[in-house]
């Protein structure tokens, strides 16, 4: 059984259909890349899997470990192991990154009937992960993402991913707004989290990211459907021919 199985998914927002019969199966241990032009529905797919309100699912299913994900609230999906690294992480002045991380981690541990981390253990754990991502300790004491650069915000997303240890990681345009050094750090953080227990969906419209995070499967998405799937060689084909060839396929 696949960890994530999306079947014939049709999704609209404000009466406009964006996903038009999308199928996707992701097994534990695999890294899938979804590539496609702007407006092809990549971000919508990530939002619908993670439970963002405002979308209408008119047909289809999303199964996670065989369970109906669409029947769950966003927070329940998160506690079951779905993690979305946001394309545009929000800023919350007045809530320190540290307090936010503790609230998130404890909410998840509580939902899984695990004991909450003690304060010293929690701080030690955050410091270790933050160091590995070159996140200075001072940043953790500031308001969440307030005054953070684009690269710092993305590193903060990976920090959360590492702490929460999800089984499905969806990375929505994690490379946007990153310079080459920041991209290297972020990709290093993501690669460190690859494991046989965990699946990842990497969404991007730039092939460059795939030099750093080498996927097992690449999907090309256009007009709300997966138009073609293949191995990493598909990236080279895209590089040579662009997305145009997929626009009118299927």
Partner 1 sequence: MKQVVTKTAAGRATDNVFAAAHGRLPGSGLVAHIRARAFEAYERAGLPQRIEAWKYTDLRALMGAVLPLAPRPDAAALVRAAASVKQTAVDRAVKLVLVDGVFVPELSDVDSLEDGVAVRSLREVLEDTTDSAMAGLVLSTTTDAVISLNAAMATDGFVITIADGEAVKRPIQIVHVTTGSLVSNFTRSYLQLGQGAHAALVESFVSAEGASGYQTNDATIALVGDEANLSHIRLAADAADAVHISSSIIAVGAKAKLDFFSMTCSGSVSRYQGFVTLTGEGSKLSANAVNLIRHKQHVDTTMVVDHAVPHCTSREKFRAVIDECGRSVLQGRIVVRPGAQKTDATLTTRALLLSDEARADNKPELEILADDVTCGHGSTSGALDGALVFYLRARGLSEKDAQALLIGAFLGEAIEEIVPESLRDFVTAQTEHWMQARR
For partner 1, the binding residues (CB under 8 A) are 50-53, 73-75, 77-79, 83-84, 86, 89-90, 92-95, 99-100, 103-104, 107-108, 111, 143, 160, 164
Smallest separation, CB 148 to partner 1 (Å): 14
Nearer to partner 1, 110 or 208 (CB): 110
Smallest separation, CB 159 to partner 1 (Å): 12
Q: Residues 17, 34, 49, 63: what is their CA dihedral angle, to the nearest 10 degrees?
A: 100
Which run of H or of E encompasses 24?
strand 16-26
Plot region of 24 (φ>0 → left; ψ -120 to 50 → alpha; else → beta): beta
Distance in angstroms between the alpha carbons of the first and the last residue of the chain? 27
Nearer to partner 1, 28 or 146 (CB): 146
Nearer to partner 1, 81 or 225 (CB): 81
150-164 vs 97-111: helix crossing angle, rounded to 10: 30
Smallest separation, CB 87 to partner 1 (Å): 12
Smallest separation, CB 170 to partner 1 (Å): 10
Smallest separation, CB 46 to partner 1 (Å): 10
Nearer to partner 1, 50 or 204 (CB): 50
Nearer to partner 1, 44 or 50 (CB): 50
Smallest separation, CB 16 to partner 1 (Å): 19
A 10 A CB-CB count for 171 gives: 29
Nearer to partner 1, 96 or 245 (CB): 96
Nearer to partner 1, 94 or 120 (CB): 94
Q: Distances from the Cα of 233 to the Cαs of 20, 64, 68, 213, 217, in angstroms? A: 26, 28, 33, 14, 9
Q: What is the Cβ-side half-sphere exposure of residue 38, based on CA atoms within 13 angstroms?
A: 1
Q: Distances from the Cα of 238 to the Cαs of 84, 138, 164, 204, 243, in angstroms? A: 25, 41, 34, 13, 6
Distance CA(150)–CA(173), nearest Å, equals: 12
Smallest separation, CB 127 to partner 1 (Å): 20
Q: Which of 249, 218, 248 shows the shortest CA–CA distance to 234?
A: 218
């Amino acid at each position: 059984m696949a960890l994530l199985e999306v079947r014939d998914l049709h999704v609209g927002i404000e009466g406009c259909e964006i996903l038009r019969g999308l199928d996707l199966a992701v097994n534990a241990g695999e890294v899938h890349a979804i590539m496609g032009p702007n407006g092809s529905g990549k971000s919508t797919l990530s939002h619908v899997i993670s439970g963002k309100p405002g979308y209408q699912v008119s047909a289809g299913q999303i199964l996670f470990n065989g369970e109906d994900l669409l029947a769950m609230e966003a927070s329940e999906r998160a506690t079951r192991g779905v993690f979305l690294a946001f394309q545009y992480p929000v800023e919350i002045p007045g809530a320190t990154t540290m307090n936010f991380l503790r609230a998130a981690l404890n909410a998840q541990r509580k939902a899984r009937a695990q004991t909450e981390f003690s304060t010293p253990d929690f701080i030690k754990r955050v410091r270790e992960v933050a160091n590995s991502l070159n996140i200075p300790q001072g940043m953790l004491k500031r308001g969440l993402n307030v005054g953070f650069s684009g690269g710092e915000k993305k590193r903060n997303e990976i920090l959360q991913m590492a702490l929460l240890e999800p089984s499905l990681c969806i990375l929505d345009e994690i490379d946007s707004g990153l310079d080459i050094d920041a991209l290297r750090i972020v990709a290093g953080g993501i690669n460190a989290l690859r494991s046989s227990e965990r699946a990842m969906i990497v969404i991007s419209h730039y092939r460059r990211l795939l030099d750093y995070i080498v996927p097992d499967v690449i999907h090309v998405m256009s007009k709300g459907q997966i138009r073609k799937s293949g191995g990493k060689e598909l990236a080279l084909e895209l590089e040579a021919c662009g997305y145009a060839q997929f626009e009118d396929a299927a």
